[in-house]
Structure 1
Amino acid sequence: MGSMMERILFDKNKTEHSMVLGNSAAQLRWKEQDDCAELTIELAYSHVYGMGEKYNAVSQKGLTVVNEVEEKFCYQDEKTYCPAPFFFTDTGFGLYADTACKTVFDFTGKHIKVTLPSNTPIVVFKGEPKDIISEYMNLLGVAKLPPKWAFGPWISANSWNTQEQVEQQIENLKKYQFPATVLVVEAWSDEATFYIFNGASYQPVEKGGALKYDDFDFSHSDYWKNPKAMIERLHQAGIHLVLWQIPVYKKQGNDEILNEQNELDRADAVERKLCVHNSDGTPYTIPEGHWFAGSMIPDFTNQDTCAAWFNKRQYLFDIGVDGFKTDGGEFIYRPDVGFKNGMTGKEAKNRYAQSYTEAYTSFIGEDHVLFSRAGFTGQHTTPILWGGDQQSTNDELNSVLRAGLSAALTGIPFWGFDIAGFAGALPTLDLYRRATQTACFCPVMQWHSEPNGGQFKELMPGYDGNNERSPWNLAAVYNEPQFIDEMRFWHNLRMNLLPYLYSEALKCVKQAKPMMRPLVYDWCNDRIAAAVEDEFMLGDSLLIAPFLEENSHQRKVYLPQGEWVCLFTLEVLASGEHNVACNKKQLPVYIKSGCGIALNLNENKMLGSSVGNRTDSYHHLHILLAGSKGSYTFQDDLGNDFTLNWDNGRIEKSGKSAMNYTYELIG
C-alpha cells in the first residue's frame, strides 16, 4: 500500500476537510482568530508517533507536544533539541504543519488539536508508517549519507586538549586492542574563535580573510606541537578526526585576555551585518542566564557570513580534519530578531539550528562528517544527530533510547548517543555494559566524557575528578580488569557488522527510510508490535531487544510475524512473546527469516573476532542467510552489488561481486 499525500491550505472560505482511511475516517476542522489558528482532527486512534526526538515516550498519545527547540542539560523529558511538526497515527493518518514557528499538538483529548499560525500550509498523508515517513522525507530533501568510516566505533572525551593526549589514545587503542574509526576532540581550540588551535601563534586576518596552516607557529604551544603530523598519525592508524564547533562570536569574560582575532571577527560581523540583528539594527546577543551569554551569533542565511565563517575553517580540512561536531544552535530567545533572508525570531527559534547545520553540511561536502545535537524539520538532510546530554543513570539510558526511536519515526536515519551518559558520576559497570550493547546496534556507536571534574562540579562531581568513559578507565576505577575483555567483544562486533551497516545505510538513503526503527514501522497492523517501545529493527534484517533494567540478563521479547534466528546462538524462535536470558557476550538480537546480514570476520568466523579498524577492505566477507528461503542484497563502496536468493538449500546469485565471500544458511 503506497502513501497518499495532499497539501491543504485552509482559509476562511474552506474550514473542513475529510479523509477516508481504510475503515475509519479523519475530519479536519480549521478555526482562525487573528494570526493564530486551531486545527481539530476528529480521528479514532490509539498511538501517535513522530514529533522529532522525544525523550518522554515514543507514542505521544495522552501528551501535549510543544514544538520548540530548547537546550536542556540532562533529563530532557518533554523538551527536545530536535522537534518537528510532523506525526502519524496507527490508523494510517499523518500530518505535517509547514511552519517553523512554535506549534502545539494536543493528543490528550478525544480529538487531536493543533495550535499554529494562520495560513500555515498543512500536508496530510494516508498510508502505512513506512510510506508516510518516506513521503515526508522526500518532501523535504534527500537524506545525507555519512562516510563508511562513520559506522565504526567512535571515541571521545572533552578532557583531551593536547596533542600528547590525542596521540595517547592511539597507543591506548593498540595496548587494549580496541578498534576505533573516529576520534572526537572538543577542547582543541582557543575557546575564543573556536577555529584556532590552543597556543598557536599567528597573524590575525581581517574581514573574512582565509587562514592558512603554514601561517601558524606551534613552536611555543604547550598544547599542539604539530597538528598536521598528528592527523597524519591518526589516519595511519585508521582513525578519523572530528573537531567541536559552536556558532558564536564569543563575548569574552572580564577575566579573559581579549583574543585579537575574535575581536576582529566581532567587529567584522557588526560592520558587514554578518550576525543576527535586533529589530533596531543592533547585533542580537544571547541573553544572560544562557550558554555563551552576551555572544553574537552568525546569520547563516547570509552568504557573506558563510564565506567568512568557513574561510577561517578551510585550513582544517586542508590538513586532514575529517568533520565537525556541531554543538549548540539553540540560541534564539527573542521573537523580534532579524535575518538576511527576512526570517524573524519567531521562525528562527526552531529554524536557526537547522540553518546552522545546513551551512556546515554544504561546506563539508561528501567525504567528511557532521555530528549535530539540535535541528528542526528536515534533519535527515544533515549527516548525523546525537541524542544530546545525559547523565550516567539508568533512567537516562531508557530516555535516550526513546529519543532515538521517536527520531527514527520522524525520518532521521542516522543517530547515536553517548554510551551510558557523559555527565556526572561515572556509570556503573552494569549500566556501561548494557549501554555499550545497545549502542553496538545503533547507527552510530560512541562513548564520550564531559570535562574532568564535571561541568557542574558542585552538583554532579565525577569520580575523583576523572570522568573518562573509556572501557579501560572504567575497568581501572572499579578494579575489574576483565571488563576490558568484555567490552572489546562489542567493539570488535561493531567492526564485524560494518558491511551490513553500510549496506543498509545506502539502502536507507535511496529508499528514504530510517536505519533504526521501532516495530510499528514494519508491523503497523500488529497491535502488540505497535505498543512496543523498547525493541527496534536495525536495517531490514536485525531485531534488537536491549536490556534496560539494572543488572538484568533476561527480559520478555516480542517477535512479530514470522520466524527469527538468534544472532548469537542460531536458535530459531517463532513469533510471539518469549522469556529470553543471555550471558554477558549475548544480547537478544534476531535475524528475520528470509533476510541476511553481511559480516567482516577473521578466519575463525566467530562474532566478536578481531578484524582491526580498516573500512577500505574486509578481512573475510561472510554472509548469514536466515530461514529456509529468502533474498538478501548486499552493496558497498568496494564494488559489491549482488543478490543472493535461496530456497531449501539452493542458492542463486546475481549482480556483481568484487571479492571472494562465503555464505552460511542458518535456521
Structure 2
Amino acid sequence: MKRITFSKEKTFLDFSFCGHRAQLQWGTENDVGILIVSLPYDAAYGMGEKYNSFNQKGHYVANCVEEQFCHQEDKTYCSASFFLTNTGFGLYVETNCKTIFDFGEKIVISMPIDAVVVLFDGTPETIISEYMSLFGPAKLPPKWAFGPWISANHWDTQEKVEEQISKLNRYHFPATMLVLEAWSDEATFYIFNGAKYTPVHGSEALDYFDFDFSDSPWSNPRSMIENLHNSGLHLVLWQIPVYKKQGLDEPINAQNENDRAFAVEDRLCVQTDRGLPYEIPKGHWFSGSMIPDFTNSETRRVWFSKRQYLLDIGVDGFKTDGGEFIYRTDLHFKDGSTGAQMKNRYSQSYTTAYTEFLGENHVLFSRAGYTGQHTTPILWAGDQQSENNELKSVLRAGLSAAMTGVPFWGFDIAGFSGPMPTLDLYRRATQLACFCPVMQWHSEPDGGQFRELMPSASGNNERSPWNLAVVYKSPDFIDEMRFWHNLRMNLLPYLFSTALDCVQQNRPMIRPLAYVFPDEQAASGIEDEFLLGESLLVAPLLEENAQCRSVYLPNGVWYNLFTNEKKLGGQTVNAICPTHSLPVYLRAGHGIALNLDDSQKLGSSVGNGVDSYHNLNFLLAGETGTLRFHDDLGNDFTLTWNASGWKKSGRSICPFTVRMID
C-alpha cells in the first residue's frame, strides 16, 4: 500500500505491481485534478454497489451517492472511490467529494486537487483486505441476523404483527427477524402511531410509561416485542433521518413541530452558508424537511435520547433508510464539512451514528453508504421492481459490493415494488437469497408508493410465500418455499462461522470468482456466479422458467450439494436445474457445518432457534482438506481429513457427526 499526494512538483509516477508497471500522470484542469493511469487490465471491479455491470471497464463512473427508485442502472445508493483490476492493481481516492472514473484503455480520474491517492498491489484478497483496514473492522451482526427475515409495509398494527407469528406457525416456516416500516407516527419516526404523548420542547428523553396507547393500533408494544422474542423473532424498526415537513393534507404532529423548532434553535440540523436550516429541495423524497447533522455530538445525543426507550422495551435494531439527502454544495456541518464534501459522506455519518448508538447484540440494516461502508453492520440493495432484469442487476450489485469489501449484504426477494412477481421469479430469487448473507422478503405499501407511475397489485401485495400461493392459486408453492427457509436454518452454523472469519480476516462473505480465482482468465468475466465463504459455489438461475444453465467450475473438484455428483473443474458444464433445485457445488478440500434434524437431510425442519443445534453435522468434500468451525457457543476447532479419516483439534462444546464425500 502506497499513499501519494500529487502536486505541481510531482506529476509522474511509475508503480510496479505483480510483474506489471502502471504509469500515473497528474495534471489540473479548471481547478480539478486529473490523474491518468496507464496499465494493462481487462477488468475493473469495486466502486461500491454497481448495478449496470460487474466489470466497469468501458464505463464512465460518477462516484456519487444517489437515490434512484428501481432500475438503478449506473446510479447507486452505495458508492466508493475504490477499484481493483484483474491484473493485481488497486487504487483508492481518499476524498469525500464527487469523483469521476473513466475506465477506458487508460483510466482517467477527475478528483479534487488536494485528494490523496492510495495504491495497492497483490491478489484481490490482499487488496480488499488492505483497503478495508483503512477504515477499521467490519461489524459482526448477531447470529440471528443470518436466519430468514420477513417484512411487509402494510403491517401497520400490533394485531397484524402478532398475526405473522400465527402464520409462521401455521405454515411451519422458520424466521428470526421481523422488520416493521409502518409503525411510527410518520412524523417523528420515534413515536408509535396513535400513541399520545405530552409534547416536549427540548432534548428530554421520552419515557415509555408516559405514552397513552388507548387509541393506538399498537396497544402494548412492549408486550408485542416480548411475544416476538418468545417466538424466536427479533424486531427491526424503520428510520428516516429528517425533521419532517408535514404535507398540507397531514394533521399537525405537535411533537414533530417541537422537534423542528428545537433543532433550529440549537442548530442541530444541517445549515446553509447563510446560517439558515437546509431543507431538502422540491422534487426529492421528503422535500422541505430539515436533516440532522450527525457530525454534531449534541445532535446525536438529542436524537438518540428519544429513541433509547425503543431499545429499553426490546427493539433489536433499525432499518436506516434514506440518507441520500444532500443536494446543495453551500452547506455547513458542525465538523466544518461542506455540502460538496458531505454529498457522499452524509449517509455514512448517519449509519455510523446509529451503529455507535446500538452497540452490541443489535442490528443495523442500511441501503446507503460511502467508502468504508463495511463498518455499517448490514447493507441491502435498495428498491427494485419484481422483474427478472432487476434480479440480474441486484446480483451484479452484490458482487460489486463484495469487491468493495462489503461483507454482509442482501436484497428484497423478487423485488418489493410493482406488480406481483411470477412464481418462478420468486422461486429463483428465494433460492439465490438462501445463499446470500441476508435472506429477506419485503413488499411496498398496498397499491404501490408511486401508484400513478407503477401501480402494484391491487389489495394485498405482500410478498410472503403464502400470499403468492393464494394469488396464483398454487397451494403446493408453500411447501416448495418452506424447503428453502428450512435450508437457510440448516446452513446457519456455516453462515455464522463464515461471518466470524469475514470480520477477523477483512473478507467479504460473497466472493466473486474473480476474487477467489484471480489466476484463471475464464473466472474474471463471470458475473452470475459466486462463492459463499470458502466452500460453496452458487450459480443462480436468472431467466424465467429456466431449467438449465451453463456453469463455469474453476480448477479443482466440485460436488453438487444436493446430489453429491462429482465434477472436475477448469471447464464449463451444463447444469440441469429442476424447479426444486439450483446449481450449488461444494469445493473439494473444504466443508460446511449444518444443523439438521434426525433425518440428516437438507431442508429438514430445525425451527428458528439459534442457541443450540438439533444435530451439528459436517459435510467434508474431497480426499484431503481442512475446515475451521467456530461459533458463539464456545466451539472453536479444526477438522482435517485424508484417506485414513478425519481428526479434530481445538475445543468442541457440542456433539457432532461427520460425513465425507469423494
Same amino acid, percent of matched pairs: 65
Match of 2:49 in 1: 53
Verify: 1:191 aligned to 2:159, yes or no. no
Which segments of 5 or more consecutive residues in structure 2 lack a partner in the other structure? none
Given residue 242 of structure 1, which amino acid in structure 2 is its aligned partner? V
The question of 1:644 aligning with 2:610 is answered: no
Deviations 1:624-666 (A, max 9, x none): 0000110000000001001010011421210000010001001
- The TM-score normalised by the length of structure 1 is 0.98
Do 2:589 and 2:621's aligned partners in 1 also have CA atoms closer than 8 Å? yes
1:303 matched to 2:309? The reply is no
Stretch moving more, 179-188 or 641-650 = 641-650
Q: Tell me the alpha carbon deviations over residues 152-181 of structure 1, each in whole angstroms, 9 at most, x when there is no partner.
A: 000000110000000000000000000000
Aligned to 1:214: 209
Q: Which amino acid aligns with 1:353?
A: S
* Structure 1 unaligned regions, length at least 5: none
In the other structure, the counterpart of 1:538 is 532
Q: Which amino acid aligns with 2:334?
A: K
- The CA distance in 2 between the partners of 1:205 and 1:620, in whole Å, is 53
Distance 2:425 2:248 in 1: 41
- Counterpart residue number, 2:269: 275
Q: Does 1:89 align with 2:85?
A: yes
- Which of the numbers 422, 447, 465 marks the counterpart of 1:453? 447
Asked if 1:141 is matched to 2:136, the reply is yes
Deviation at 1:607, TM superposition (A): 0.2
Which residue identity is paired with 2:642? D
Match of 1:472 in 2: 466
Distance in structure 1 (CA, Å) of the matches to 2:30 and 2:58: 28
SS of corresponding position for 1:40: strand
Render the CA deviation track for 1:447-488: whole Å, top value 9, x for unaligned. 000001111112222222321000000000000000000000
The whole-number CA distance in structure 2 between the counterparts of 1:344 and 1:285 is: 15
For 1:332, the equivalent position in structure 2 comes to: 326
Does 2:317 correspond to 1:361? no
The offset of 1:294, in angstroms, is 0.2
Contact 1:542 1:590 in 2 (8 A): yes
**CA shift for structure 1 position 34:** 5.0
What corresponds to 2:177 in structure 1? 182
Aligned mates of 1:47, 1:67 — CA distance in 2: 18
How far apart in 2 are the matches of 1:629 and 1:24? Answer: 35
| Rounded Cα–Cα distance in structure 1 between residues aligned with 2:180 and 2:509 | 26
CA deviation map 1:19-58 (0-9, x unaligned): 1223321000100245311000011110000000000000
The match for 1:603 among 592, 595, 598 is 598
C-alpha distance in 2 between matches for 1:207 and 1:199 = 22
What letter is aligned with 1:204? P
| Residues 387, 404 of structure 1: 8 Å contact kept | yes
Match of 1:390 in 2: 384
For residues 18 and 247 of structure 2, the distance between their equivalents in structure 1, rounded to whole angstroms, comes to: 62
Residues paired across the two proteins, number? 661
The alpha carbon displacement at 1:330 in A equals 0.4
For residues 42 and 478 of structure 1, what CA distance do their matches in structure 2 show? Answer: 55
Counterpart in 2 of 1:30?
26
User: Per-residue CA shift, 1:551-603, capped at 9, x if unaligned?
Assistant: 00210001101001111001111001100102222210011100010000000
Equivalent residues of 1:503, 1:635 under 8 A apart: yes
Q: Which amino acid aligns with 1:18?
A: D
Give the corresponding residue for 1:227.
Answer: 221
Superposed, which structure 2 residues align to 1:132-171 within 5 Å? 132-171=127-166
CA contact 2:18–2:121 (8 Å) conserved in 1: no
Cα separation, 1, equivalents of 2:514 and 2:418: 34
Displacement of 1:256: 1.8
Partners of 2:19 and 2:122 in 1: how far apart? 13
The 1-side partners of 2:593 and 2:472 are apart by 36
Question: Is 2:237 the partner of 1:252?
Answer: no
The answer on whether the counterparts of 1:563 and 1:573 sit within 8 Å (CA) in structure 2 is yes
Contact 1:625 1:664 in 2 (8 A): yes
Structure 2 distance, partners of 1:414, 1:469, is 23
Aligned partner letter, 1:624: L
Q: Provide the C-alpha distance between the structure 2 equivalents of 1:600 and 1:566, rounded to a whole number of angstroms.
A: 19
SS of the aligned residue for 2:287 comes to coil
User: Is it true that 1:39 corresponds to 2:39 in the alignment?
Assistant: no
- Deviations for 1:75-115, whole angstroms, at most 9, x for unmatched residues? 0000000010000101111000000100000013x210000
Does the aligned pair in 2 maintain the 1:564–1:573 contact within 8 Å?
yes
Give the whole-Å Cα distance in 2 for the aligned partners of 1:343 and 1:314: 28
Counterpart residue type for residue 494 of structure 2: Y
Letter in 1 for 2:443: S
**Paired residue for 1:484?**
478
CA distance in 2, matches of 1:56, 1:535: 16
The one-letter amino acid of 2:621's match is A
CA contact (8 A) 1:6 1:124 kept: yes
Partner of 2:8: 12
Match of 1:589 in 2: 584
Equivalent in the alignment of 1:173: 168
| Equivalent of residue 120 in structure 1, options 115, 125, 135 | 115
| CA RMSD of superposed structures (Å) | 0.7
Supply the distance in 1 between the matched residues of 2:31 and 2:311 (Cα, whole angstroms): 46
Q: Deviations over 1:355-406 (max 9, x none)?
A: 0000000000011000001000010001000000000000000000000000
